[in-house]
Amino acid sequence: MKHISVVGAVIVQEGRVLCAQRGPQGTLAGLWEFPGGKIEAGETPEAALAREIREELDCEVEVGDLVTSTTHEYEFAVVTLATYWCTPSSGEPRASEHSTLQWVEPAKLSHLDWAPADVPAVELVTQRLAASGA
């Protein structure tokens, strides 16, 4: 089975987390995810994430510490997702590849229908931000 390594950005601003809903076409249509994408050959995960956010959201982020790395077996491939804490550094995120972007309070993250690979990170992000009082 094909293996895909991807990265996701947990972008936090004013105590809320940026969540992206996948478009109606393609795999995992309509599910929510942390924005990001595939790691290209020769790229570090952090460089890939900064590039993907630039391409997908037309803004810049500072990539911080790893939140978690999880592997999930979908019908189409095995996906390893590394999520990183990120802070916006310039520009406002704009949806180009996603149908919707939403800033969500940590306590409400679990209300969204997340892509399975993102679920462990969602739980960690919710716990960490709740503990910090964000």
| pTM for this model (two decimals) | 0.93
Strands (E) across the chain are located at 3-13, 16-22, 32-33, 36-38, 60-73, 78-90, 98-104
User: Any idea which architecture 3-132 has in CATH?
Assistant: Alpha-Beta Complex (3.90)
Angle at 106 between CA 37 and CA 93, to 5 degrees: 45
Q: How far apart are CA 81 and CA 6, in angstroms?
A: 5
Can you give the pLDDT at residue 14?
A: 93
Can you give the pLDDT at residue 110?
A: 95
Segment 79-91 shows an average pLDDT of 97
Per-residue pLDDT at 134 exceeds 80 = no
Q: How far apart are CA 109 and CA 32, in angstroms?
A: 10
For residue 131, what are the contacts with CB-CB under 8 A and spacing of at least 6?
A: none
**pLDDT tens digit sequence for 2-26:** 999 999 999 999 999 999 999 998 8
CA 115 to each of CA 40, 90, 104: distance values in angstroms, whole numbers, following the listed order: 22, 27, 16
Segment 77-84 shows an average pLDDT of 96
